Amino acid sequence: MGQEESTPIDESSPPFTLETRTVEGLAKYIKDGRARRIVVMSGAGISTSAGIPDFRSPDTGLYANLARLNLPYAEAVFSIDYFRQKPEPFYELASELFPGKFRPTITHSFITLLHRKGLLLKHFTQNIDCLDREAGLPGEMTVEAHGSFATQRCIDCKLPYPDDEMLEKVKNKDIPCCKNESCNGLVKPDIVFFGEALPAEFFANRELPQQADLAIIMGSSLTVMPFAGLPQLVREETPRLLINLERVGGIGSRRDDVLLLEDCDSGVKKLAEALGWLEELEEMWATTGVKFGVEPEKKEEEGMRKSKDEKLEDEITKLTKDVDETLLLCEKHESRVRSDFDREAKKLLEKQMKMGDSGDEQEGDDDAPPAAEGSKGHRLSHVFGHLKKGSSL
């Protein structure tokens, strides 16, 4: 890697292609239809949230946690020479990493979404976990540069070994041997070990980064060649997006490089949101959980999708409505009570006037009209004394 390729770009240098060196700038570039051939280059970091460790992260990476395998050096577990002598450590690890146990991440679904939108030129991956296939990406869209667990064969005569028997062997931590008894060589998944050539498919597709109009590099330390050289094959004026916990491979040194130094899943969500694809992406990812007993979340009710501010506004509107209704009720109640009182008072007055005429001072009044609904008795002048004061009577 040249010096040029590692020095971060001077922020004041404007991009050649993008309007801004931001996620929004990239989203605009894609939405404007200028990114129709996207190349994705991925590594172990896109699968860590699925529960598969990466290789080189200092505490959590696979290489930092292989003491139990008593290896002469960590990478020996993927060395063909070491495997020939001692295949057990690899098979110990294979039983932990074997596909089928892990759910694809939303980042895998994002790659599938790019394909479904007709924008993916190729996905180059160093991963052997097959999670992109699990997320619905057709096999031909991915170049598995370091092979995968999908197939296996004898390391000597190359005779393929049946998938179902391999699964059984791996489960039981048995070492599978060639079906050809005269060979009886060791069988190994078609993972590229150190000391082995990369698949022909890698070299056959190596020109594609040059044809890309956007490269997205995610979850790789870009330390293992020749894969690590792919981002440099992308044309100078073509935007490159790095989504990774750390800056790697000199990305960020070109004028159209965009860096999202964060978790892959949150990075792709940001990009999907800027593109207006987030809901579609989440729905697509939800389908990958069914096989693992994770039911797709029920589509959120209208109210649940609202932002905090919108929810607060709704709450205030509801409260205001309640208060208005209560006040209206009070007014109605008051006016009804008032009219009941007026009616009662009028009747009493009339009665008193009649009694005054006859000299009779009777307190109880069986002829009085029934109390108004809601009132406790018919001596309203006592109960609603305060109304009487203000009454117009």
State which residue, 129 or 213, has the beta carbon closest to ligand OAD: 129
Smallest gap from Cβ 16 to ligand OAD, in A, equals: 27
Q: Which residues pair with 241 in a beta bridge?
A: 216, 258
State which residue, 180 or 266, has the beta carbon closest to ligand OAD: 266
The continuous run of DSSP H or E covering 58 comes out as none
* Cβ(170)–Cβ(101) below 8 Å: no
Smallest gap from Cβ 43 to ligand OAD, in A, equals: 3
One-letter amino acid of 246: E
Q: Which residues pair with 57 in a beta bridge?
A: none
Q: Which residues pair with 143 in a beta bridge?
A: 124
Residue 131 annotated as binding site:
no
| Angle, vertex CA 158, rays to CA 153 and CA 159, nearest 5 | 70
Report the alpha-carbon distance of residue 220 to residue 126 in Å, rounded. Answer: 8
State which residue, 75 or 165, has the beta carbon closest to ligand OAD: 75
Give yes or no: 333 in active site: no
| Interface region with ligand OAD, contact rule CB under 6 A, candidates 47-55, 205-213, 286-294, 381-389 | 47-55
Residue 70 annotated as binding site:
no
Q: Kindly state whether residue 126 participates in binding ligand OAD, applying the rule CB under 6 A.
A: yes
One-letter amino acid of 198: L
State which residue, 48 or 112, has the beta carbon closest to ligand OAD: 48
**Choice among 108, 115, 123, 146 that is catalytic:** 146
Instruction: Please tell me what DSSP assigns to residue 122.
Output: E
Report the alpha-carbon distance of residue 52 to residue 80 in Å, rounded. Answer: 22
Residue 165 annotated as binding site:
no
Smallest gap from Cβ 221 to ligand OAD, in A, equals: 3
* Tally of residues, the chain: 393
Q: Kindly state whether residue 269 participates in binding ligand OAD, applying the rule CB under 6 A.
A: no
Q: Kindly state whether residue 192 participates in binding ligand OAD, applying the rule CB under 6 A.
A: yes
Question: In 10 A of CB 54, how many CB atoms?
Answer: 20
State which residue, 107 or 340, has the beta carbon closest to ligand OAD: 107
Q: Kindly state whether residue 9 participates in binding ligand OAD, applying the rule CB under 6 A.
A: no
Site for ligand OAD in 329-358 (CB under 6 A): none
Question: In 10 A of CB 6, how many CB atoms?
Answer: 13
CB burial string 264-277: b at 16+ within 10 A, e below: bbebbbbbbebbeb
| Interface region with ligand OAD, contact rule CB under 6 A, candidates 154-162, 239-247, 295-303, 317-325 | 239-247
Smallest gap from Cβ 161 to ligand OAD, in A, equals: 20
| Interface region with ligand OAD, contact rule CB under 6 A, candidates 16-24, 56-64, 206-214, 362-370 | 56-64
Instruction: Please tell me what DSSP assigns to residue 342.
Output: H
3-state secondary structure of 12: coil
The continuous run of DSSP H or E covering 209 comes out as helix 208-211
Total number of residues that touch ligand OAD (CB under 6 A): 26
* Cβ(17)–Cβ(239) below 8 Å: yes
Q: Kindly state whether residue 48 participates in binding ligand OAD, applying the rule CB under 6 A.
A: yes
Smallest gap from Cβ 225 to ligand OAD, in A, equals: 10
Q: Kindly state whether residue 78 participates in binding ligand OAD, applying the rule CB under 6 A.
A: yes
The candidate with the shortest Cα–Cα distance to 230, out of 271, 194, 268, 202, is 202
For residue 38, count CB atoms less than 10 angstroms from its CB and return exposed for 0-12, middle for 13-18, buried for 19 or more.
buried
CA dihedral 171, 173, 174, 176 (to 10 degrees): 70
Site for ligand OAD in 202-221 (CB under 6 A): 219-221
Q: Kindly state whether residue 49 participates in binding ligand OAD, applying the rule CB under 6 A.
A: yes
| Interface region with ligand OAD, contact rule CB under 6 A, candidates 40-48, 159-167, 327-335, 364-372 | 40-48
Query: Would you name the residues annotated as active-site residues?
Result: 146
Annotated binding-site residue numbers for Zn(2+): 154, 157, 177-178, 183
Which residues lie near ligand OAD (CB under 6 A)? 43-45, 48-49, 54-57, 61, 75, 78, 126, 146, 192, 219-221, 223-224, 244-246, 248, 263-264
